[in-house]
Amino acid sequence: MSRRWVSVGGVRIGAGAPVRVQTMTKSRNTRNTPSIIKEIRKIYRAGAELVRVAVPDDEALHALPEIVERSPIPVIADVHFSPKLALGAIEAGAAKLRINPGNIRSKRDLKKIAMTAKDRGIPIRIGVNSGSLPPAVIKRFKHPTAEAMIAALSDSVKLFEDFGFADLVLAAKSSDVRITIEVYREMHELFGYPLHLGVTEAGLPFEGAIRSTAAMAPLLLEGIGDTIRISLTGPAEREVQACWELLRSLGLRERGVKLIACPGCGRTEIDIQKLAQRVKRKLARINRPLSVAVMGCVVNGPGEAKEADYGIAGGEGKGVIFRKGEVVATVSENKLVDTLVFLIKKDHPE
């Protein structure tokens, strides 16, 4: 964890605070305020604690105050190239500003942005990306190596510190897992600021989740990282779900149902995948930390999943429901999921 902390709309980041879950809206048009608000509410229900919104033009900037006001979670304005839009986003009430000094290069403009943010009391995330390093850095290092990314970030940090601005969050995004790990370990040693973890252009849900986990899990287990985003092609709420699954799997935070499902084998006499998907869907709104097992064999199911809070094991048209490894009911296969959900909601009323 970082040695410093910042507050983003009242959400504390760094210096012992929990690792925060962040995502970014995917709606094509930030100017479409109702669509953006609808999306933000969906990701909020999924567990997002911070949301980043692209501000690519004046129309998007015009929509930002209403988005900020109606959002249930702090809104981070994502601005590239335009100092004017960055300053406007601060004035519009964004809880945090994300910029890339690789594409806003004027020191005078950056200083004005920093001083305006300081007056408003909002942090700035300096996001260095392997695909948009400053020309001088590329000329020096030839390729976007870990060393090149650290050099670019160090220059930016020094610049903001010279401005007297210290409410920084740092990020260095690469699509290469090994470079990501190397860069963040170095950042952790060099800087005391909160770090945002992520892999840029991670990919489709299956590949993207694996790639992001491969990069972030080692870092998080070393205490490196204060906010995370798992970038996936697809709905933003899936990014949030993936983040929570990662944090839950590492024992760093708990929220919602941890689903355990057997892979299936020659003894399996039930459609495990279909059953597990139904259980996951039915319990999606439960935020209380619980573990639920879905097993395909009544012989070993309860024993193999005895550490789970609840579970089901099916076969030959019927199945058992268990709590903490103890069988509490035997029902027909078509009633397994509904009976399990009823039991859980009875034990844990919202």
Least confident of 29-43, 83-97, 282-296, 316-330: 316-330
Confidence of residue 145 (pLDDT cuts 50, 70, 90): very high
Residue 163 sits in the same domain as residue 101: yes
Q: What's the average model confidence in pLDDT over 283-289?
A: 92
Residue 185 sits in the same domain as residue 292: no
Residue 91 sits in the same domain as residue 156: yes
Was 189 annotated as part of a binding site?
Answer: no
* Residue 294 lies inside a defined structural domain of this protein: yes
Residue 159 sits in the same domain as residue 266: no
Residue 160 sits in the same domain as residue 269: no
Residue 91 sits in the same domain as residue 201: yes
Residue 107 sits in the same domain as residue 239: yes
Q: 75-78 and 50-54 as β-strands: parallel, antiparallel, unpaired?
A: parallel
**Residues 229-256: pLDDT tens digits?**
999 999 999 999 999 999 999 999 999 9
pTM for this one? 0.93
Residue 202 sits in the same domain as residue 100: yes
Q: What's the average model confidence in pLDDT over 23-38?
A: 90
Q: Give dist(CA 231, CA 239) in Å, integer.
A: 6
The CATH number assigned to the domain holding 282 equals 3.30.413.10
Task: Indicate the DSSP class of residue 240.
Answer: H
Tell which of 205, 232, 249 closes a domain. Answer: 249
Q: Give dist(CA 264, CA 129) in Å, integer.
A: 42
**Residues 301-348: pLDDT tens digits?**
767 777 899 999 887 788 899 999 888 999 998 899 999 999 999 999
* Residue 340 lies inside a defined structural domain of this protein: yes
Residue 228 sits in the same domain as residue 171: yes
* Residue 197 lies inside a defined structural domain of this protein: yes
How high is the pLDDT of residue 202?
66
Residue 282 sits in the same domain as residue 235: no
* Residue 41 lies inside a defined structural domain of this protein: yes
How high is the pLDDT of residue 200?
84
For residue 254 the two structure tokens come to: 């708990």
**CB-neighbour burial class of residue 335 (10 A; exposed 0-12, middle 13-18, buried 19+):** middle
The CATH number assigned to the domain holding 35 equals 3.20.20.20
How many structural domains does the chain have?
Answer: 2
How high is the pLDDT of residue 298?
66
Tell which of 188, 221, 249 closes a domain. Answer: 249
**Residues 184-235: pLDDT tens digits?**
999 999 999 999 999 987 689 999 999 999 999 999 999 999 999 999 999 9
Was 243 annotated as part of a binding site?
Answer: no
Tell which of 196, 220, 249 closes a domain. Answer: 249
Residue 244 sits in the same domain as residue 320: no
The residue segments making up the domain with residue 241 are: 6-249
* Residues composing the chain: 350
* Residue 40 lies inside a defined structural domain of this protein: yes
* Residue 137 lies inside a defined structural domain of this protein: yes
First to last CA, the chain: 33
Residue 236 sits in the same domain as residue 177: yes
* Residue 1 lies inside a defined structural domain of this protein: no
Neighbour count for residue 332 (Cβ, 10 Å): 11
* Residue 165 lies inside a defined structural domain of this protein: yes
